[in-house]
Structure 1
Amino acid sequence: MKLFRDFFFYTRNQRRGILLLVAAIVAVWTVNWWLRPAERSFPQTDAAYMDSLMADYKDFLASVKYQDSIQEQRFKSQDKPASQPELRPFDPNEADSAQLCRIGLPGWMARNVVRYRQKGGVFRKPEDFRRIYGMTDERFETLRPYIRIARRDTATTPAIADKIQPDTTSKDSTRKPTIPLFQHVRKYPAGTIIELNQADTTELKKIPGVGSVIARMIVKYRTRLGGYYSVSQLKDIRLRADLLEPWFSVDTTAIKRINLNRGGTASLRRHPYINFYQARAIVEWRKEHGPLKDLTPFEQHPDFTKEDLERLRHYVCYE
């Protein structure tokens, strides 16, 4: 009993604290009860309220089903050609996405073919076309009789383009006779020199080993740069510059230069050799010190390396 009394014994100050705490709890509960009358009425017992909830729920289900149907139709449309396919001979190493769609491939699969070639992939025989992601056995068997893989120049170096031989192993007696797909481009003989900054895609494709894809890569990167100052720059787009160098001469007077005293950050960074931080450094230096006369102020700048400045000198002016 003594232990019990000791445990429940409180001083006067402690008893006052307990009473204040109980009073505060009661006050909070009372205020909360008066400020939330909606919960006391419990609206779920109202039939009209329940009917409105059910109507909203049904509308929600209907909208979900509608969105699901739209999504399903979208996926189905991706797997079907936009129009009736026109089956005709094609070379998977040369056909663009529009040609591939016309023969019955969906758009996303045609893009897979083009992307595969851009990464260096080559179709050596018709069966290689079966490896494209999404290609079914049924679709491949439909297209197989129309696949024409052209013979490439035997002087082609594997680092530029692989040697492709026609498929002679098929014993299908019902296979349709070969139909010429296009006139082969006559290649330049060894020793021919063309100007790298002036040649268009038609002329570039006359170099042994250079096809449509590589020719477009060279011209597109030349446009972004403003012109080449060296054949070695072809390494920037993952081409074997050492193998292509004997075919080119470079006229550096054709290079289009950018004025470092006029361009803003956004325009300067469009050049392949200027990143965002370098463009910002150029603009900030101009604001603090005035127009640039050369690249000397950036020789010790942390955002520029010696190699960056060396290749950038070919593309800048200060007028």
Structure 2
Amino acid sequence: MHSEFQKPVVLVVDDAPDSLGFLCDALSDGGYTVLIAHDGASALSRLEWVVPDAILLDAVMPGLSGFDTCRRIRDEPGLTHVPVIFMTGLSGTAEVVEGFTAGGTDYVVKPLRVEEVLVRLQAHVRNARAVRIARQAVDVAGLGVLVVDALGRIAWRSPRAAECLGQFGIDPAATTADWLGDPATLAADPAADARLLREQGDQSLYARSLGAVGLGEHMLLLDVRKRGESSTRIAGAQLTPREAEVLSWLAKGKTNRDIGDILGMSPRTVNKHLEHIYEKLGVETRAAAAALAMRASSD
């Protein structure tokens, strides 16, 4: 059993929460800490104090509707990873589409089937936690990563990506069509060269696809570089042919085990090559080495 501090937290938002007592009891019995809000405004107020692992949100409420509440939630960068599951008696196509357009992750139809809600919730909480851990790792590595959704909006950006956008005067609230074009064309070939987005003085902003990460979503790596910087640095490192191969596969996102399988060597040997590569390039992490390699391949 989870301790009280380890239990996943679920925020249930409904204008008639008493009618959902059976659901709240089932969530508590299932190991969740349950918070309750009676309307959209009170839900947003609670979210100023706590970030839940998931939100069960009634779609139709007086005042601020569930759809509008979800849009407000998605406007908060610190809440973009939280899955929002709509609870609705509206199962028509238009209502379902509006829910997903508003930023919903999933929906369940009233009257609720508790077993279905628990299974869906468990899957979304697990996936959301994995995404949060991955994003925290990106933040620590200092990479300029962003996720663009199917409507051309920035669904998430790392701190470094936010810096890159700000440096080149790009509004993160605007659709990417104005400065990126269709991200799907960039993501069509993840091995393709990075796309030059903007130039400012002796610096340029590039975007490279890291592939699809969800339904209609694409992950991109933003990179600011001085002209000729990375190619000169790689060339001056005097890597051996084997080290160059290892670095190339590293830049493609392969793990040490993957690289070993591809090149016919042990992961330990791959790690030794990486130590030499780091020293020659003057970097300390695989993320920094991969970034240099990706820049060089685009010059």
Query: Which TM-score tier does this pair reach, normalised by the shorter chain?
Result: under 0.3
- TM-score, length-scaled by structure 2: 0.25
- TM-score, length-scaled by structure 1: 0.24
- Name the structure where strand makes up a greater proportion of residues: 2
